[in-house]
Amino acid sequence: MEVGMDHVDRILAQWQRERPDLDISAMGLLGRFTRLRNHIGREIEKTFAERGLTSASFDVLAALRRSGPPFQLSPGDLLATTMVSSGTMTNRIDQLEKQGLVQRLDNPDDRRGVIIALTPEGLERVDEAATAHVTNQHRVVASLAPDEREALDALLRKLLATFE
């Protein structure tokens, strides 16, 4: 499929004109990653906002949902799953608790600790949001044929492995 010039192409043309000595091939690739991340991020946030969530709150709810019944995790397990600071996690849990989507329960294995659990409303909300999120993800990549998606996924996996 032939694709026209995009914003990144115009920037690259300017650099090529002004600094022909630079190899700007990586700049184009990474510039497109950045622009795609921004566009896709807005689409994702819109889907979550329509359900009273943010990507940050969905992240916590989804971690609890993926854990399986009874949909409970310790704050430490949530931290490991979401990779945010403890202060950030506490704030997210506080906000979700105010919305009635999670609750803090006494940890039966540690009297000093708590367990974070989805409430029935939280379970319903995360399930609806996950369905909408997956539908939105398919819409976002719909311009790629299935074999193109597989090829791009394989390349991104390879690149990501160098960092993780």
One digit per residue, the tens of pLDDT, for the chain of length 164 reads 456 788 999 999 999 999 999 999 999 999 999 999 999 999 999 999 999 999 999 999 999 999 999 999 998 899 998 888 889 999 999 999 999 999 999 888 877 889 999 999 999 999 999 999 999 999 999 999 999 999 999 999 999 999 98
What is the greatest pairwise CA distance in the chain?
Answer: 67
d(CA 149, CA 146): 5
**Phi and psi dihedrals of 127, rounded to 5?**
-65, -45
Length of the chain as a residue count:
164
Bridge partner list, 116: 73, 104
Quick one: fold of 28-136?
Arc Repressor Mutant, subunit A (1.10.10)
Question: pTM for the complete prediction?
Answer: 0.85
The amino acid at residue 24 is I
